[in-house]
């Protein structure tokens, strides 16, 4: 009865909140009509939403241990599902996923399958058992399950290390996303944007821990949902005359396939592709001539600059030549690396467009098979990773009962699907828009958004359209779009009013902030609860534990923001690495911990070390940016899917080492029996 009234009170609060948010949208739409400048609309969205999150954080401030760590274990399944969905939908999903589907076609769907199918594993193998165990963190569970005769600390230390490393990589990617959005929509510098976002993350999680984060995340989910669905519904109404894009975009897909077939044989497109092919051949010739070609190229660039200066050419030309000389490779080695990249990108652009709906397109059956295997490997890693990400699993501690935690996984997947079923529709609709209204249009009259997005980052433009064959028309092969801008720019591409752009930015910010919040709390809880309370000072008072947790949160957050400000890599690859690492390190111990009684401490240590080691080794060995090379790949599997080797290695290590060593402690076996009973 009490639980029931609590549930309905929550429903009432969030209904009012949603109503208020719709009102804000309407007011801003009217203000825009009345002539409010665009920048103000951007500011208002950012400001209003951040104040809102901070407000919820302040209202839910707490110093009670159970409230701080697990929100008092009374979050109803439906609301925990919403909060977990917000926790789950990260900057990678919101900003990059639609772009990934746009650029990669069918291959991008691996993310959709992996990130939803993983919840089957969460529901069936992990969440209910963790809730039955009923402590505070993931290392807690592993330490109790794999306790030794004398101490449970070795497994705990390893689990904490894994949790911290995985969550840290992931949180850096989120804060990077926060920086991107705030800097683009408010015009502040990237690093200032990062720290602005950080401030709002901290107000929320710092004061109220899990309790504040849960109620903020529910609020953030509502914003994410509106921000994703409104532009898609709008586009869908225009192109298919039906608001339900998820159902109606099939007809658009068929049209896209037809256009692609025409573009494949269009003489002008073939022209442009031939230009790229020639460029690639040029780079190839230069690469073969190294180091002589490098020397020659430098001299030519210098001569070109001097010639321009002598002829009193325009300042713009001289500047361009100067820039070219400055960015010319400093050594033959650098030249080789750079030209290899340029050759590859030119070769890629010399190919006909990636067909949106064809699975694993490849020139030969073998190339196509490699794509299929990579698709399978990526799906595997993303699924196993989903089932072992600590910040997601931790959320299932907050429900009132085991049954409620099962229901909660269902609601999580339900709320995730509301967004995920829309993502492919968005990618297809935007692609249709580009194919029909940009391709073939007049080069001299490009739409406004092109120059706007091209100017945000001049050295590495997010959009570039260059008239390579000088025919005055835009060809598809002349357009390059960055995957990270497609969702954020959708409202502008489709010519929607600016308040929709502001809404999308607010949604992206909510997605990045909610995930960053959950991750930071996971890191600080693992450190304060598992390291400080369980290992350093078991007699610490509850107030002291929460204070330590808050302090650690601050330190970790600053460290993560600093790392993100160094721009370590793009969002999707950082997130992919985190998934592979999580799956290799934690999945074997978590799943077999419940389903295999014989697993013992030595086995768990071996599993974590071997899984982590295999995954890291493969990434270092095959990822060019980390000093590896693609020639070291096993079965042509990309480094991002390293978990496909890590997970089996970890499982095998757990089984073999456990069987070679004495059976587990009776208390561990009793724990297994305990979590298995309802």
Partner 1 sequence: MLKPRPHHPASHWHSTRRLTLGLLLVWFVLTFGVIFFARELSGIRWFGWPLSFYMAAQGLALAYLLIVAVYTWQMRKIDRRQQESEHNRGHNREQKREQQ
- How many residues would you count in the chain? 678
**Shortest distance, CB of residue 250 to partner 1, whole angstroms?**
3
**Shortest distance, CB of residue 654 to partner 1, whole angstroms?**
19
C-beta of 359 vs 662, nearer to partner 1: 359
Could you tell me which of 383, 388, 384, 377 has the C-alpha nearest to residue 642? 377
C-beta of 330 vs 674, nearer to partner 1: 674
Among 345, 368, 547, 573, binds partner 1 (CB under 8 A): 368
Site string for partner 1, 483-512 (x = CB under 8 A): ------------------------------
User: Does the protein bind partner 1 through residue 120 (CB under 8 A)?
Assistant: yes
Stretch of residues binding partner 1 (CB under 8 A), selected from 114-122, 180-188, 392-400, 568-576: 114-122
CA 366 to chain centre: 30
Tokens of 266: 């269009």
Tokens of 1: 């009865």
Site string for partner 1, 127-156 (x = CB under 8 A): -x----------------------------
Q: What is the DSSP string of 461-492?
A: -SEEE--TT-SSB--GGGEEE-HHHHHHHHHH
User: Does the protein bind partner 1 through residue 106 (CB under 8 A)?
Assistant: yes
Count CB neighbours of 189 within 10 A. Answer: 12
Residue list 249-308, contact with partner 1 (CB under 8 A): 250-251, 253-254
* DSSP three-state, residue 437: helix
Mention every residue, 6+ apart, whose C-beta is less than 8 A from residue 72.
64, 66, 211, 398
| Dihedral sign (CA 576, 578, 584, 589) | negative
Question: What is the number of alpha carbons within 13 Å of residue 426 lying toward its C-beta?
Answer: 31
Cβ atoms of 150 and 593 closer than 8 Å: no
Among 45, 420, 435, 498, binds partner 1 (CB under 8 A): 420
Count of residues interacting with partner 1 (CB under 8 A): 44
User: Does the protein bind partner 1 through residue 409 (CB under 8 A)?
Assistant: yes
Find the angle CA(179)-CA(560)-CA(507) to the nearest 5 degrees: 35
Tell me the C-alpha distance between 237 and 534, whole Å.
Answer: 57
C-beta of 165 vs 354, nearer to partner 1: 354
User: Does the protein bind partner 1 through residue 641 (CB under 8 A)?
Assistant: no
Among 182, 246, 398, 580, binds partner 1 (CB under 8 A): 246
User: Does the protein bind partner 1 through residue 358 (CB under 8 A)?
Assistant: yes
Find the angle CA(6)-CA(520)-CA(199) to the nearest 5 degrees: 90
User: Does the protein bind partner 1 through residue 414 (CB under 8 A)?
Assistant: yes
Among 156, 407, 534, 550, binds partner 1 (CB under 8 A): 407
Stretch of residues binding partner 1 (CB under 8 A), selected from 37-45, 170-178, 400-408, 505-513: 400-408
User: Does the protein bind partner 1 through residue 14 (CB under 8 A)?
Assistant: no
Cβ atoms of 450 and 245 closer than 8 Å: no
**Shortest distance, CB of residue 380 to partner 1, whole angstroms?**
9
Cβ atoms of 541 and 137 closer than 8 Å: no
User: Does the protein bind partner 1 through residue 318 (CB under 8 A)?
Assistant: no
User: Does the protein bind partner 1 through residue 124 (CB under 8 A)?
Assistant: yes
Site string for partner 1, 424-453 (x = CB under 8 A): x-----------------------------
User: Does the protein bind partner 1 through residue 116 (CB under 8 A)?
Assistant: yes
Could you tell me which of 146, 150, 130, 135 has the C-alpha nearest to residue 530? 135
Query: In degrees to the nearest 10, what's the CA dihedral of 122, 128, 129, 133?
Result: 130
Name the residues that contact partner 1, by CB under 8 A.
106, 109, 112-113, 116-117, 119-121, 123-125, 128, 246, 250-251, 253-254, 357-360, 368, 372, 375-376, 379, 383, 402-403, 406-407, 409-410, 413-414, 417, 420-421, 424, 595, 676-678
């Amino acid at each position: 009865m009490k639980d029931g009234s609590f549930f309905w009170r929550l429903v009432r609060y969030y209904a009012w909140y949603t109503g208020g948010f719709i009102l804000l949208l309407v007011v801003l739409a009217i203000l825009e009509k009345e002539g409010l400048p665009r920048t103000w609309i951007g500011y208002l969205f950012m400001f209003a939403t951040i104040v809102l999150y901070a407000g919820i954080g302040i209202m839910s401030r707490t110093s009670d241990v159970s409230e701080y760590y697990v929100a008092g274990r009374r979050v109803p399944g439906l609301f925990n599902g919403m909060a977990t969905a917000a926790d789950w939908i990260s900057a990678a999903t919101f900003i990059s996923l639609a772009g990934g589907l746009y650029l990669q076609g069918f291959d991008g769907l691996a993310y959709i399958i992996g990130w939803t199918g993983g919840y089957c594993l969460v529901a069936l193998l992990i969440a209910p058992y963790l809730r039955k165990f009923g402590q505070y963190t993931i290392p807690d569970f592993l330490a109790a399950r794999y306790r030794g005769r004398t101490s449970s600390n070795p497994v705990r230390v390893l689990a904490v290390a894994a949790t911290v490393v995985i969550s840290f990589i992931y949180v850096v990617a989120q804060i990077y996303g926060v920086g991107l959005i705030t800097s683009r929509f408010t015009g502040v510098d990237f690093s200032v944007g990062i720290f602005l976002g950080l401030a709002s993350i901290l107000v929320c999680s710092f004061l109220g821990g899990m309790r504040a984060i849960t109620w903020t995340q529910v609020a953030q989910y509502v914003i994410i949902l509106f921000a994703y669905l409104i532009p898609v519904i709008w586009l869908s109404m225009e192109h298919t005359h039906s608001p339900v894009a998820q159902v109606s975009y099939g007809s658009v897909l068929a049209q896209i396939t037809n256009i692609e077939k025409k573009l494949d044989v269009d003489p002008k497109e073939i022209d442009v592709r031939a230009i790229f092919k020639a460029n690639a051949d040029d780079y190839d010739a230069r690469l073969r001539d190294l180091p002589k070609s490098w020397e020659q190229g430098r001299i030519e660039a210098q001569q070109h600059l001097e010639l321009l200066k002598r002829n009193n050419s325009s300042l713009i030309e001289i500047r361009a030549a100067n820039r070219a000389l400055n960015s010319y490779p400093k050594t033959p080695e650098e030249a080789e690396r750079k030209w290899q990249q340029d050759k590859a990108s030119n070769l890629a652009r010399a190919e006909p467009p990636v067909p949106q709906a064809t699975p694993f397109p490849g020139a030969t059956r073998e190339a196509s098979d490699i794509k299929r295997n990579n698709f399978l490997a990526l799906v595997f890693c993303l699924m196993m990773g989903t089932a072992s990400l600590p910040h997601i699993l931790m959320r299932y501690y907050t429900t009132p009962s085991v049954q409620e935690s099962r229901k909660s996984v269902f609601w999580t997947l339900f709320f995730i699907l509301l967004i995920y079923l829309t993502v492919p529709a968005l990618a297809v609709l935007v692609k249709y828009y580009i194919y029909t209204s940009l391709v073939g249009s007049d080069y001299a009259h490009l739409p406004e958004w092109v120059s706007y997005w091209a100017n945000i980052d001049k050295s590495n433009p997010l959009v570039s359209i260059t008239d390579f064959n000088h025919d005055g028309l835009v060809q598809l092969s002349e357009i390059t779009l960055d995957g990270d801008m497609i969702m954020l720019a959708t409202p502008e591409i489709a010519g929607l009013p600016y308040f929709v752009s502001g809404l999308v930015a607010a949604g992206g910010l909510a997605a990045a902030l909610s995930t960053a919040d959950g991750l930071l709390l996971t890191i600080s809880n693992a450190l304060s609860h598992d390291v400080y309370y369980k290992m350093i000072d078991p007699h610490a008072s509850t107030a002291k534990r929460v204070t330590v947790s808050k302090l650690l949160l601050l330190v970790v957050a600053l460290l993560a923001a600093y790392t993100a400000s160094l721009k370590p890599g793009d969002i999707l690859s950082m997130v992919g690495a985190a998934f592979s690492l999580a799956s290799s390190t934690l999945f074997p111990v978590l799943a077999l911990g419940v389903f295999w009684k014989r697993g013992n401490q030595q086995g768990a240590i071996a599993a974590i070390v071997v899984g982590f080691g295999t995954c890291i080794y493969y990434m270092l060995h095959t990822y060019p940016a980390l000093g590896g090379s693609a020639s070291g790949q096993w079965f042509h599997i990309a480094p991002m899917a390293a978990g496909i080797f890590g997970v089996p290695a970890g499982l095998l290590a757990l089984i073999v080492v456990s069987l070679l060593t004495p059976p587990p402690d009776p208390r561990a076996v009793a724990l297994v029996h305990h979590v298995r009973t309802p």
